[in-house]
Structure 1
Amino acid sequence: MSIVKENGRFRARLKSGRQNIASKTFDTKREAKAWLDRERAALAGGLDPRAGKEPVKSALDRWLSIRRTTVAKKTYTADLDLRRLTPTSMLNVHLSAVSEREVARSFEKLLAAGLAESSVVRYRASLSVFFSWCVREKLLARNPVAGVKVPKGSDEVDEMHPFTENELEAAYLVWKMKDERLADILLVLGWTGLRWGEARAMQVASVMEVPTPALMVRRSQPEGSPIKATKGRSMRRVPLGNRVLPIVRELARDKAPHDLLFTTSGGAQLWRSSSLRLLDWTRLDDARNNVGTGRGRRLHDLRHTAACLWLARRIDPGTVQAWCGHESIATTNRYLHYLGTGADKAGLDRLNEGVSDDSGAAGGPQSEEDAS
């Protein structure tokens, strides 16, 4: 028989003709049958289950040696964390022995150890890519990570803190008193949604005037890294509104096509720390309040500012998604949740019908004494 009950558990045996290929013990007969069905299907598709006898650690080392030369440095660094974060109990077992249960437990252990939920999500992404490679190399029949999600934590989410249009203009006037060139650049970031790395790598040739003024975002250069493709490896076109078009034209004036567009007043490439220092972006007073010109915001909030500015001006979310370079509309919808929608405004208008906006309620509910 293919499934035999032994000592209260169920052992499934996979055979090819009269030859035993693999076996595994399960708590329930249903689990044993499901495993046997998957392994039979894999065997019929050319997968030798004996390949799954390789330890996870050995296969992981082989995969990392390939990733070293096939992915970006930042991605490879994240992949290396698998050696440190994957439980020893999982590293030492055979590939075929890793189930969704072991994967879920690894996530729970990392969260219990104090690792941030976002870090566990990155760990899950690398782990899933690794097991997908195992499937492609016919070491496994299926990816055990695919059906397992990271448990949602109860920590407060790091919210965006964009400038309103008026706040951005007020901040711009303050920045100009510190460094006019940097102030112009940050205003452009607040209207175009460029990431800092994308701004550092932007060339004059990327300024387009036809058919409409825009920036072609093709590459990025995070500090300390070589030039690479943009996040998501996709090119996008970002419009230049009239508010910042003259600034961009001035920044590009008298420069060659392959010169950097956004540079310091001395013509050097941008660096985050020196730029923020010149602008007095972060400074605390005696009461520990942030009185710097950034008013408690991150530089990345300028990207959030652009998305909110576009949506507030009734640009449709699909267009905003394209301008931001979001792979999923769900990312763009975060800004709609932040701003509210036309339906929210209409609902509030209905809620306020007959009620004044001061402390006196015009047409509001009356007490029995008032009614009499």
Structure 2
Amino acid sequence: MIEPRRTKGGRTYYLVRVKSGREQVATKAFDTKREAETWEREQKHMLETGRPLAPKRTFTFQKLVTEFLRSRELGNPHTFDTDKNNLATLSPTLLRRPLASIHAADMRAHLLAQIRSGKKPSTVARAKTTLSAMFTYADEQGLLHQPHPIRTMVKIPELSVVAQRAVGPKDIPTAVQMTRTLKAIRERRALIADVFEFMSLTGVRWGELRAIRVDWLAEVPLPQLLVNRSHSDRYAEKDPKSWRGTRQIPLSPRALAIMKQHSAGKAPDDYLFTNESGGQLSVGVVRKFPLGFRRHALRHYAASTWLRLGTPVNEVAEYLGDDPRTVLAVYAHVLGEEQRLAHLRRIADAEAAENDGGHLGVTWRENAPHG
């Protein structure tokens, strides 16, 4: 109900009373009748549906992006930067459209375009995660009145968990590659070679390596690296990714030797690996020494080495700070190598047994059971 009223000075204003049954649930005064009617309509809609009215068509997709990023500014700086970079790929045409016109097909087309442009599925999958978080935020704010565009989107096969995470043989350097690469880098700068070698022996992430202190070494009951912090460039130190508490990584003799070498003469709380000035290493320095493969492949090298040596999946997952299911998905081809090698051995033995010069396949078909 809207009541026109006057102030003592003679100015007209409009008092809105909103009731639920006989109970008054909201009241507000406005200078114009139009503002009063709009607010009354919104309140009644909220009472009837439990949700605000859909935003006007002037509320664009760009406005949602701006509000969402503003809401994330006080959170994790790394997450904010990731969200900002992911949303920067949205086209101007899409951003100018009203939010109410954005549907699942639009988001699917956007993500597919990113894949076609050459971006890795893992990169596009992270962009999808950002978009999903943004539309969830819009829903919580009462701005989303259409079905959630990401949750209702037809799945993109390339973004499945296995496709997103799995690595293939070409993603992991061989022992020969690793030896040759480290030798070449050591000739230029021994410190950087030690850093890369230590990462390949322990599987630590770059941020974790930067944060390692001298006293992270435990030698009783066995030599172990105690990982409990991570410090990515430009961001505050924090807990390691996907891990709670201290992660214990057994150290090989070579990894232990590297750690002791770089601990010499340092205090327990000093960084293990430091630059020439004694300060913390930066990613800008190591980028001057290209490996010929991604730096993250050093982590893959460590994990695949452990698995090939027969270390149980759950142990490898613990050393990496990952879920065993993730290890199974990422290193599926490594876990299947023994079966494939056995298959090749059987073929080689069968070929060696061929004495009549016939094709192996013909012999198998002739000896195959019928029925």
Query: TM-score normalised by the shorter chain: which range applies?
Result: 0.5 to 0.7
Structure 1 residue aligned with 2:357? 366
Displacement of 1:48 after TM fit? 1.3
Equivalent residues of 1:48, 1:139 under 8 A apart: no
Aligned: 1:116 with 2:113: no
Change in 2 beyond 3 A, CA 1:208/1:109 = same
> In structure 2, what is the Cα distance between the partners aligned to 1:167 and 1:92?
50
Aligned: 1:308 with 2:304: yes
Change in 2 beyond 3 A, CA 1:75/1:209 = farther
Which residue identity does 1:263 align to in structure 2? T
Aligned: 1:261 with 2:272: yes
Equivalent residues of 1:175, 1:182 under 8 A apart: yes
* 1:184-333 alignment, distance < 5 Å: 184-232=194-242, 234-235=244-245, 236-264=247-275, 267-275=278-286, 277=288, 281-282=289-290, 294=291, 296-327=292-323, 329-333=325-329
Q: Once the two structures are superposed, what CA deviation does each residue of 1:191-233 show, in whole Å capped at 9, x if it has no partner?
A: 1012223212211232233443222323333334443443336
> In structure 1, what is the Cα distance between the partners aligned to 2:276 and 2:142?
56
Which of 126, 130, 146 is equivalent to 2:151? 146
> In structure 2, what is the Cα distance between the partners aligned to 1:110 and 1:258?
44
Change in 2 beyond 3 A, CA 1:185/1:344 = same
Which residue identity does 1:191 align to in structure 2? L
> Is there any run of 5+ residues in structure 1 with no aligned partner, and where?
1-15, 18-42, 283-293, 357-361
Q: Once the two structures are superposed, what CA deviation does each residue of 1:60-85 show, in whole Å capped at 9, x if it has no partner?
A: 32221111111224543533542551
> In structure 2, what is the Cα distance between the partners aligned to 1:120 and 1:333?
18
Root mean square deviation of aligned Cα: 3.9
Which residue identity does 1:204 align to in structure 2? V
Change in 2 beyond 3 A, CA 1:164/1:367 = closer
Equivalent residues of 1:204, 1:257 under 8 A apart: yes
Which of 138, 141, 148 is equivalent to 1:137? 141
Structure 2 residue aligned with 1:48? 51
* 1:54-203 alignment, distance < 5 Å: 55-73=60-78, 75-79=80-84, 81-82=86-87, 85-86=90-91, 88-89=93-94, 91-95=96-100, 97-111=101-115, 114=117, 116-118=119-121, 119-140=123-144, 143-148=148-153, 149-150=155-156, 152=158, 160-165=170-175, 168-169=178-179, 171-172=181-182, 175-203=185-213
> In structure 2, what is the Cα distance between the partners aligned to 1:167 and 1:145?
41
Displacement of 1:349 after TM fit? 2.4
Aligned identity (percent) is 26
> In structure 2, what is the Cα distance between the partners aligned to 1:336 and 1:151?
18
What is the aligned length?
306
Displacement of 1:89 after TM fit? 4.3
> In structure 2, what is the Cα distance between the partners aligned to 1:88 and 1:171?
46
> In structure 1, what is the Cα distance between the partners aligned to 2:314 and 2:64?
42
Equivalent residues of 1:64, 1:80 under 8 A apart: no
Displacement of 1:50 after TM fit? 1.5
Matched residue SS, 2:249: strand
> Structure 2-normalised TM-score?
0.67
Matched residue SS, 1:85: coil
> In structure 1, what is the Cα distance between the partners aligned to 2:250 and 2:198?
11
Higher CA-based Rg: 2
> In structure 2, what is the Cα distance between the partners aligned to 1:325 and 1:348?
34
